[in-house]
């Protein structure tokens, strides 16, 4: 993996981490296009550069916002299902599904259809419920579905929130904020497991990738938050479906 590869992947990560299109799917697709061979370091890199995007969100929202009496309990409760699923199911899901483009394409297409259905429902009958602790836990369960390549962490939260008729704006904010403990924990855990893989030559690659994803996410996340709150998630549903069709055409043709 070269520094050019690292910069490209950092840009992709920064642009896709917080919108419901699956950053993991995009990174896997781009890695195949760039002919980056699967390796222990490549897997660690894909997870670790997400930390740069997460720091960008903390910078945008402000640290204090995460520790308010209203937000902190919900984030803590919402993180529990993902943590359990990550430790228990991730190795099984990874070995079973891996980086299969067929799985990614199907997940993208199904997720896109669900986003369009939820957007149509939201237009006709906007959700008005305030997010509760129980709701935060259920959204954490929806987020855990992102263990499947192509599902999308934020996509799962958005679909789950709109399905339960919570306010769209609050669900969007929660999906961004819940990413912080989720990805931070995944990054620290994966770096610990991969400590033998990290070398003096690989650490600069991680740093550059993280810095690039931070810069891109910092300048794009705020726009994406405003865009989703204003126009909804329909456009991301169409994008997912179009990308799924292209991937299936590449696979079978």
Give the Cα separation of 137 and 169 in Å (integer). 18
Instruction: Give the CA diameter of the chain.
Output: 56
- Compute and round to an integer the Cα radius of gyration of the chain: 17
Q: How many CB atoms within 10 Å of residue 88?
A: 11
On whether the CB atoms of residues 192 and 31 are closer than 8 A, the answer is no
pLDDT in tens, 94-116: 655 556 788 889 999 999 999 99
| Contacts with 41 (C-beta within 8 Å, 6 or more apart), sequence order | 1, 194, 197, 198, 202
pLDDT in tens, 186-218: 878 777 776 776 666 678 888 888 899 999 999
pLDDT in tens, 219-237: 888 888 888 888 888 999 9
For range 123-141, the mean pLDDT: 90
DSSP characters over 131-186: P-HHHHHHHHHHHHGGGSTTS-HHHHHHHHHHHTTB-HHHHHHHHHHHHHHHHHHH
Q: How many CB atoms within 10 Å of residue 252?
A: 8
What would the two tokens of residue 139 be? 């959204």
Residue-level pLDDT at 95: 59
> Is the pLDDT assigned to residue 92 strictly greater than 70?
no
Residue-level pLDDT at 212: 93
Residue-level pLDDT at 91: 66
Spell out the alpha helix ranges (H) of the chain.
Answer: 3-16, 23-33, 40-48, 50-61, 63-66, 71-97, 101-124, 133-144, 153-163, 168-193, 203-231, 234-252
Residue 8: pLDDT band with limits 50, 70, 90 = very high
Q: 166 - beta bridge partners?
A: 129
Residue-level pLDDT at 204: 84
Residue-level pLDDT at 96: 58
pLDDT in tens, 13-71: 999 988 899 888 898 888 888 888 777 777 777 777 888 888 998 998 888 888 898 89
For range 120-140, the mean pLDDT: 90
For range 75-102, the mean pLDDT: 78
For the entire predicted model, the pTM comes to 0.85
Residue-level pLDDT at 111: 93
Residue-level pLDDT at 200: 66
Give the Cα separation of 78 and 136 in Å (integer). 5
The answer for 205, left when phi > 0, alpha when psi is -120 to 50, beta otherwise, is alpha
């Amino acid at each position: 993996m070269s520094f050019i590869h690292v910069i490209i992947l950092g840009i992709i990560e920064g642009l896709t981490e917080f919108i419901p299109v699956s950053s993991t799917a995009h990174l896997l697709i781009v890695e195949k296009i760039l002919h980056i061979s699967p390796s222990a370091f490549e897997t660690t890199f894909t997870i670790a550069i997400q930390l740069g995007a997460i720091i960008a969100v903390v910078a945008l929202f402000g640290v204090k916002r995460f520790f308010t009496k209203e937000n902190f309990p919900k984030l803590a409760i919402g993180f529990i299902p993902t943590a359990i699923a990550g430790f228990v199911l991730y190795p099984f899901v990874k070995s079973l599904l891996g980086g299969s483009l067929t799985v990614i394409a199907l997940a993208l297409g199904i997720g896109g259809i669900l986003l369009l259905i939820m957007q149509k429902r939201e237009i006709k009958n906007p959700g008005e419920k305030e997010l509760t602790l129980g709701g935060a836990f259920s959204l954490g369960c929806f987020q855990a579905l992102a263990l499947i390549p192509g599902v999308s962490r934020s996509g799962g939260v958005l679909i789950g929130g709109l399905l339960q008729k919570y306010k769209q704006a609050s669900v969007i904010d929660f999906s961004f904020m819940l990413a912080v403990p989720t990805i931070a924990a995944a990054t620290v855990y994966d770096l610990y497991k991969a400590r033998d893989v990290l070398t003096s030559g690989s650490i600069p690659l991680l740093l550059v990738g993280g810095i690039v994803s931070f810069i891109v996410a910092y300048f794009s996340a705020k726009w994406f938050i405003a865009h989703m709150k204003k126009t909804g998630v329909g456009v991301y549903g169409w994008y997912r479906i179009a990308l799924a069709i292209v991937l299936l055409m590449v696979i079978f043709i």
